[in-house]
Amino acid sequence: GGGGGGGARPRRVRRLLKRNNAAVYLVDDFLTPHECEHLIEAATPGLVRSTVNEEGNNQAVSQYRNSQAANVMANWRNASDPVARIVRRVFAFANDHTGYGLTVDGQEPFSVIQYLPGQEYRPHCDGSCDGSPHLHAGRVATMLMYCKVADAGGGTSFTKSGVHVGKPQLGQAAFFSYKGSNGTMDVELTEHSGCPVAAGTKWVVTQWLRLGVGREDRWQRYDPTGGRLY
């Protein structure tokens, strides 16, 4: 499975779903424990109640998503920045497994999310999942990286496709894509939920990947499906 920086050993990659316009992969050892510590430390001071996109409001607080999140930015001017190194790894993996030809320019930052006992994210799609044509700058894939695993609960369930990551491992990542080669979007197969945490704390790092954004045409202009906000 490709996309490692600096001579990393090959990672075990399992394909859990490839159907219609959807694919789901589970990747072992995508992040090191040290990288996870760095991301959690970087996010902790900025944690705020997680938001969702609702009717043109990119930052609506939701009842079906109760967790805390903070954005963590890559420093592209620092050649050794660990966050930038991980972002490049995410996009290399994505391009190896989709052929989308994505670039890091203009993309969303990492969203580092903490779930405490009882917290969950109910079933949702990250982008469009109604079979419509992909809109410019809409999300096409997600990398969900597990940085701290709950003592009980807290798995990821793909509610309409029967795929479950029931007991994630530290450093594992679930990668899923939802735009077909015909240019149309998945129909609900990548709908997923963050199952309630029963005990302990769960930390995940999410990269939402968009097709069509760039340095002069950044993600903030568009809702997750590619609808123009301004």
Q: What is the pLDDT of residues 96-142, one digit of tens each?
A: 999 999 999 999 999 999 999 999 989 999 999 999 999 999 999 99
Q: Do 120 and 195 touch, CB atoms closer than 8 A?
A: yes
Mean pLDDT of the chain: 91
pLDDT of residue 3: 44
pLDDT of residue 62: 52
Q: Residues 2-32: pLDDT tens digits?
A: 444 444 567 899 999 999 999 999 999 999 9
The confidence band for 64, taking pLDDT boundaries of 50, 70 and 90, is low
CA distance 27 to 93: 10
